[in-house]
Structures are given as C-alpha cells and as structure tokens.
C-alpha cells in the first residue's frame, strides 16, 4: 500500500522511505531546474545515488525523454530491487513514474513533488504517462509510487504563477468536497501563507483526492470526478502549446473549471452564485486565455480526441452542487460553443 508522508522535513522522510524499502540501488530523476535548486538540499540522504537529468518543461514530457530515462537506469545498473526517486513537479513525477513502471516490467519509485501542483495532484493517485501526438497524457499506465512525500518546503523556489497553478487543483478538490471547503480555498492567499499553514491546507485537499482514488483506483466510475475542469482545460492547454505560448497545467485547469461550471449551470442548475464567485476568483488571479470564436473548431476537435471521450463525443464531469459530481456527461458541440461564449464573457475576453 502506498505510504504518504505530510512533512516539511523531507530529508528525514526520504531517508525513512529508503530504509523501509531496503532497495539495492537508488537512482534519482530530476529536471534541469530541480537539479540546481532542490537536489543540493537532499544531498546527504541521496549520497551515492545515480542521477538522471531530463530537460525541464511540458514540451519534454515525451516518449523520447522516457527512452533517455530508461538508458540512464540501464547505465546505473538498476534492477527490479532498485528504486527511482522522482524529485520535481508533475512532469517529472508523471514521466518518471511511467519510466519506472515499464522498465524491466516495473521497479518501485518514490515521488518527492517540489511544486504545489505536483504535491496536490500529479504525485498521488497512480496515474503516470507522457504526451503524444500533440495531446496531453495519451500514453501511460496506472502505477502507484511506493512513497509520496508531500511538503511545502520547496515552494520558496516557485514563482507566483506556479503557486497559482497548483492552487487550481486545490480549488477543484474543494468543489468536489463542500461549499465550506470552497469558501476556505477562495479566501486564502496561497502566495502569502507560511509553509506550515499551507501544508495543513494542502493535506486537507490531498485527502479529498485520496478518498476518491481509494474508491476507484482504475478510474472506472467515481474517480472520473477528478476530471472536473480537465476536458476544456486540456484543450486550452494544447492550443496554447501549439501556438508556442505554453501555460501551466493548473492555469488551464482554472480556466476549464469556469467553463465546465458554466455547463454545469446550464445542464444541472449548478448555483449561479457559486459560478460567479469562482469566475471572479479565476479572473482576478489567472490571466484570461486569448481565444476567440475562430478557435472553437480547434478546441472542440481537441475535446473530441481527449482520452476521456467515449465514441468520439465530448465527455465532461459536471456538478449539481459542490460535492455532487456527475461523471461521463456527454456535451453537444453547440452546448460547448455556448459555454465557451459565456466563459469568455465571465473572464472578460
């Protein structure tokens, strides 16, 4: 069973995880950024580990990079009794988890997320994978990390944009929880919270995801609730990437939450007051996407090709109210165009 530690003493927690696993060899995956900013802070506990470095950024979340990681593991002499420690944001933990899950048909891995987005979302839940064919997370596997060490101690290296990107997933978890949870996250200032207070809020958010994942590990039913905001969000993220203006995944999710709550209001009578409250929050903290009506065709095509699509239709998770998700909601193209029109109005585009 996966062990999750919530602590700001990461070296001690990582040392304990490595001792508990009695691994024959340790390899570490970092990107160019975490190699410089984070790896030195873990130098003592990872002394002697083989270090594999990948380029930073979502554009490198590809099968070619996985091949580089496989080569690094092979050169390090890794076996199925070894362990790969993924130190980084969601790109590192997603890609590193997939590389570990497929190398020699699977070796254990430990996730040490260094971004808020990675800590609240990517590092937990057992989803691993890479982008393919211009679409997000098209190739992957369900594989849980042996250990995940959730902390806020590395967030001092993050710019405001990255903190807000991670906070979007916390907003999503609150929407899947209750009105009270949503009020808590919309009132907090993630960029000003001390590490201890942020860790406590982060733990509450992570526990929402863990409860949902425990009920449906392979995403055949209730876990699909965690896709809230992601159908539209992934399409916007892919469009921005194609234009050479990539945005953080969490930023795209924040936009997607607004658009899919518009759909929720139209189809399921999600309360308009909550919709407008969320839209104001996102409009104030996240730059609005520069999209127009001419972009709808590309966005809809991306949504139809999304991995959540069934028989080619647009598939979304919607909400009747906070804590009341409806999964596998088919959305007609005309309804999505209407939602995008209202979304643009709410965001001031």
Alpha-carbon distance of 18 to 24, in angstroms, equals: 10
What is the dihedral sign for C-alpha 347, 323, 184, 208? negative
User: Could you report the per-residue pLDDT of 291-315, keeping only the tens digit for each?
Assistant: 999 999 999 999 999 878 877 899 9
What is the arithmetic mean of pLDDT over 19-45? 96
| Predicted model pTM | 0.86
Look at residue 41 in the predicted model and tell me its pLDDT. Answer: 96
Alpha-carbon distance of 33 to 41, in angstroms, equals: 13
Kindly tell me if the per-residue pLDDT of 130 is higher than 80: yes
Contact 162, 116 (CB under 8 A): yes
Look at residue 241 in the predicted model and tell me its pLDDT. Answer: 87
Average pLDDT in the chain: 94
Contact 29, 52 (CB under 8 A): yes
The residue assigned the tokens 């407008």 is 276
Residue 22, classified by CB atoms within 10 Å of its CB into exposed (0-12), middle (13-18) or buried (19+), is: exposed
Query: Quick check: do 3-157 and 163-347 share a fold?
Result: no
Contact 70, 103 (CB under 8 A): yes
May I ask the CATH class of domain 3-157?
alpha beta
User: Could you report the per-residue pLDDT of 48-68, keeping only the tens digit for each?
Assistant: 999 999 999 989 999 999 999
What is the arithmetic mean of pLDDT over 257-263? 98
Look at residue 248 in the predicted model and tell me its pLDDT. Answer: 86
333 — pLDDT class (breaks 50, 70, 90): very high
Kindly tell me if the per-residue pLDDT of 10 is higher than 90: yes
| Close Cβ partners of 227 (under 8 Å, ≥ 6 residues apart) | 308, 316, 317, 327
Look at residue 193 in the predicted model and tell me its pLDDT. Answer: 87
Look at residue 147 in the predicted model and tell me its pLDDT. Answer: 97
User: Could you report the per-residue pLDDT of 154-207, keeping only the tens digit for each?
Assistant: 998 889 988 999 999 999 999 999 999 999 999 999 988 888 889 999 999 999
Superfamily of domain 163-347: Dehydroquinate synthase-like - alpha domain (1.20.1090.10)
User: Could you report the per-residue pLDDT of 231-247, keeping only the tens digit for each?
Assistant: 999 999 999 988 888 89
Contact 304, 314 (CB under 8 A): yes
Task: Report domain extents, the chain.
Answer: 3-157, 163-347
Distances (CA, A) of 323 to 125, 284, 343: 19, 24, 22
Alpha-carbon distance of 267 to 279, in angstroms, equals: 18
What is the arithmetic mean of pLDDT over 16-38? 97
């Amino acid at each position: 069973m996966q062990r999750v530690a919530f602590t700001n003493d990461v070296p001690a927690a990582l040392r304990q995880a490595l001792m508990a696993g009695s691994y024959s060899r340790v390899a570490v995956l970092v990107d160019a950024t975490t190699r410089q900013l984070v790896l030195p802070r873990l130098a003592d506990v990872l002394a002697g580990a083989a270090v594999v470095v990948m380029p930073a950024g979502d554009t490198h979340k590809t099968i070619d990079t996985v091949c580089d990681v496989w080569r690094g593991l092979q050169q390090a002499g890794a076996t199925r009794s070894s362990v790969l420690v993924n130190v980084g944001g969601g790109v590192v933990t997603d890609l590193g988890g997939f590389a570990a899950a497929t190398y020699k048909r699977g070796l254990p891995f430990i996730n040490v997320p260094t971004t808020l987005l990675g800590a609240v979302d990517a590092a937990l839940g057992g989803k691993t994978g890479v982008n393919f064919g211009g679409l997000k997370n098209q190739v992957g596997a369900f594989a849980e990390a042996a250990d995940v060490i959730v902390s806020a101690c590395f967030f001092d290296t993050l710019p405001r944009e990255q903190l807000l990107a991670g906070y979007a997933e916390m907003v999503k978890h609150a929407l899947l929880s209750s009105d009270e949870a949503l009020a808590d996250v919309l009132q907090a200032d993630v960029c000003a919270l001390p590490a201890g207070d942020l860790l406590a809020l982060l733990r509450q958010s992570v526990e929402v995801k863990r409860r949902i994942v425990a009920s449906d590990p392979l995403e055949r039913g209730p876990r699909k609730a965690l896709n809230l905001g992601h159908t539209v969000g992934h399409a916007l993220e892919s469009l921005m990437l194609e234009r050479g203006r990539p945005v953080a995944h969490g930023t795209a999710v924040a936009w997607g939450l607004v658009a899919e709550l518009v759909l929720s209001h139209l189809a399921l009578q999600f309360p308009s007051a909550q919709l407008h409250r969320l839209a104001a929050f996102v409009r104030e903290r996240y730059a609005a996407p520069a999209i127009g009506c001419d972009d709808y065709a590309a966005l809809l095509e991306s949504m139809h090709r999304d991995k959540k699509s069934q028989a080619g239709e647009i598939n979304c998770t919607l909400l009747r109210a906070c804590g009341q998700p409806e999964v596998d909601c088919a959305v007609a193209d005309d309804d999505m165009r209407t939602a995008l029109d209202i979304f643009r109005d709410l965001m001031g585009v």
